[in-house]
Structure 1
Amino acid sequence: MPLRDALSATLLTLACLLAPSGTLAAWATHGVADTGRYVDTMAPLATDPAVRNAVADAVGDEVARTLAPAGADTDTGAALAPFVRDAVHSFTRTEAYRIAWEAGNRAVHDAVLHALRDDTAPRGPVTVDLAPVTARVKQRLTADHMPYAHRIPVEHTEVPVVPAEEVAGLRKGYHVLDAAAFWLPLATVVLAVTGIAVAARRRRALTATGLGTALGGALLVLAVAVGRRLTLADLPDHLHRPAAAAIYDALTATLRTASWLLLALGLTVALVSWLTGRRGPRRGAPSPATAPDGRFRRPPATLPRP
């Protein structure tokens, strides 16, 4: 009996530890690493004020630096920077910007995903061509009669999005997550079922499994919150932290939902198992006509009164 309890406890502990890990791997592989889901997740951010401000500032500064050499002196770009930012801010409210936002996210995600999945891809940084986005911005600035807007070059230049030295590590990490997304959930179910089956008291083992699963879900919720804080703390630019927070929240929305579902599922299983155990008949209590050894015991004979 002690050996069965020890084996059951070991298997159930492993299952409860693998449950949040499997959830995280499945989210990374089937959520973030899927281009369609990624684009659908990022699409609503096109109208987020923090994201629009960050995009306008980044594009405006880049356009201002592009215009600087074309002027009579080096201060031309700096003088035009406020006007360029205003024009780009206006562009972020248009339908063309939302189309460009979706096309840019799809292009970047496709390029990164191709580099991570294809082991035969040439070595070097992951690049993407953002010429269509630049063309849309130039068209908008020209329509607004912005000075020097017609001089903005629209060339098919490859813009690096992932450094070459990080591609190999990311590729190995992706392959590990891809395998873990399948094997970890399967191993969790097998370990949990086996641990409950070999337990001497299965109802108690089921209750413990539910509580362990709920604890894993709670830890995953905490990990997402801590990851958000650490991610924003590492950003050097304080102005773009609201935009980064919006993007982080959008990407981890599915993971947070799965974490809360894991917590709720574990608590529900534990509560139902505990309640059915309390309401069920108690076993092992001898009946009045049964001896402790299980044999039938005759009631004592009564003598007739005289």
Structure 2
Amino acid sequence: MTEPTAAETDTTVIQPLREDERAELLRLRGEVDALRKAPRRRRVPNWKAVAAGFLITLGCVLAPLSLLTVWVHNQVANTDRFVATMSPLIEQPSVQAAVTDRVTDTIFGYVDVQAYANQAVDALAAQGLSPVLVDRLHSLTGPLASSLQGFVHDQVGTVVASSQVRAVWDQALRGGHEQLNAVLSGNASAISIVAGKVQLDLGPVITAAKQRLVANGFTAVNAVPDVHPTLAVGDAQTLIKARSAYNTLDTVATWLPWVTLVLLAAGVYLARNHRRALLNTGFGIATGMVVIAVALFIVRGVLIDNVPSRSAAPVSDSYDLLVRFLRDGLRVVFVVGLLIGIGAFLAGPSPTAVHLRAASNRLIVWLRRGGAKAGLRTGKLGGWVHDHRVPLRAGVVGVAVLVFVFLIPPSGLAAIVVALVLLVCLAVIQFLDQPSPGAQDRPTGTGTA
């Protein structure tokens, strides 16, 4: 018996295409050929994505400019901040020497010691003192006046270098800065301008020096009236010309930070991927702060290189003193931007972020099991937290933001501490987030869970 062939066993019969099927096939082939031959259309970018990228970039550029503007405005218009910045200058030896010389010269402008001594010798001569002794005493009045001037200079120097002079110095700075603000705001009559220089009132220092000299027995200083000598602190002509810039600065410093925040928020809102936009925003702000910090370092080096070597130390100290509040602000904004970027990164789909979230979740699960073995049960609290977990998380984030905003003064370390406390609070919410027993068996609508 022979085996059947393949042709004999194949019972499949291929039916020919009907006319309508053949026509449909030909139509589809034509469409495919037309699509293959047609030029590819350029992909039109999404206007929201373009707008989001532009707004975020512009906001990141304006962030360091906003910080610089606010810092300059505080130094120019905020008397309290100016005094806090410049108050330590009185501790610099060069400043102490200048103030001491100016106060001493003012005192001896009203107290002519040599003239008083000559009057005393003439009075003795009128009483019959020997002419030889009169001549000798007259010859001693000059050295006496010089030695007394040295004594007064030392006493004034002691006053200037004492801890009590800080309040006096601050008062002088405050009065001078208020007068400078009057010039910038257009009220030039409120300030003393001599030879084109803005003069700082040293009247309070004179008063303190008189009190100390009287306490040491030099009562002749009472002849000095209530005077207000001045010390040149700047070019008044330049300040007067800066009135328009002052008004502009006041407006820009008030609105630019808010405009920057609105631009960044709008950019994140319009972005297709909010998390990625937030990540770019945080790291962009941090990068801007680094750029400003590098620029400050370069400016410091240029200033030191352009002064004599003997003045390098005072110039560097004064520069560091002047920009210290700006550096503090840079650190704070840098840390905040970095934390925002890191938070957005950890919430993303990257393998590192996924592994970190999985590890933290395993840790929380392990803690739950340990608590269960120890008899710890969340009960109704766990179910309530599970039902309200989203508003609870939003609430702790909002509280953390408010705490940082109202910190006085804010700092980079404070931002890190607030972020760590926020993570702990979120972990506690995650730990307590346990559905109530039987929650999965409850009916939902017309069906079952």
Q: Which residue of 1 aligns with 2:53?
A: 9
One-letter amino acid of the structure 1 residue matched with residue 325 of structure 2 = T
Is the contact between residue 196 and residue 206 of structure 1 (CA under 8 Å) also seen in structure 2? yes
| Normalised TM-score (structure 2) | 0.51
- Of 93-102 and 142-151, deviating more is 142-151
Residues 124-147 of structure 1 show CA distances to partners (whole Å, capped at 9, x for unaligned) of: 834443223223224434544679
Match of 1:59 among 75, 95, 99: 99
Structure 1's 80 and 166: CA in aligned 2 closer, same or farther, altered over 3 A? farther
Q: 2:326 aligned with 1:255, yes or no?
A: yes
Equivalent pair of 1:111/1:127 in contact (CA under 8 Å):
no
CA distance, structure 1, for counterparts of residue 309 and residue 102 of structure 2: 16
Query: What count of residue pairs does the alignment treat as equivalent?
Result: 275
Question: How far is 1:216 from its partner?
Answer: 1.0
Contact 1:45–1:246 (8 Å) recurs in 2: no
* Residue number in structure 2 paired with 1:121: 188
Distance 1:3 1:175 in 2: 40
Structural RMSD (CA): 3.9
Question: Secondary structure of the residue that 1:277 maps to in structure 2?
Answer: coil
Task: Using the TM superposition, give the Cα deviation of residue 83 of structure 1 relative to its aligned residue in structure 2, in angstroms.
Answer: 4.9
Contact 1:64–1:84 (CA under 8 A) maintained in structure 2:
yes
Change (3 A) 1:238 1:31: same
Alignment of 1:230-241 (within 5 A): 230-231=302-303, 238=310, 241=313
SS at match of 1:162: strand
What displacement does 1:258 show? 1.4
5+ unaligned residues in a row in structure 1: which ranges? 282-306
Out of 333, 339, 349, the residue aligned to residue 268 of structure 1 is 339
Alignment of 1:140-289 (within 5 A): 140-144=212-216, 155-157=227-229, 160-231=232-303, 238=310, 241-242=313-314, 245-278=316-349
CA distance in 2, matches of 1:270, 1:167: 42
1:62 aligned partner, one-letter code = R
Structure 2: distance between partners of 1:54 and 1:240? 13
1:131 corresponds in structure 2 to 203
- Aligned partners of 1:86 and 1:103: how far apart in 2? 23
Per mean C-alpha deviation after superposition, the further-off stretch among 34-43 and 22-31 is 34-43
**Structure 1 residue aligned with 2:373:** none
Q: SS of 2:228's equivalent?
A: coil
8 Å Cα contact 1:129/1:159 also seen in 2: yes
How far the C-alpha of 1:206 sits from its partner, in A, is 1.8
- In structure 2, the CA distance between the partners of 1:159 and 1:233, relative to structure 1 (3 Å rule), is same
| Overall identity of the aligned pairs, in % | 31
Indicate conservation of the 8 Å contact 1:221/1:259, yes or no. yes
- Residues in 1 aligned to 2:66 and 2:219: alpha-carbon distance in whole angstroms: 55
Distance 2:142 2:45 in 1: 82
| Partner SS for 1:137 | helix
Deviates more, 1:262-271 or 1:93-102: 93-102
Asked whether the 8 Å contact 1:210–1:270 carries over to 2, the reply is yes
Aligned partner (choices 68, 82, 94) of residue 24 of structure 1: 68
1:179 CA displacement: 1.0
Q: CA deviation at 1:221?
A: 2.2
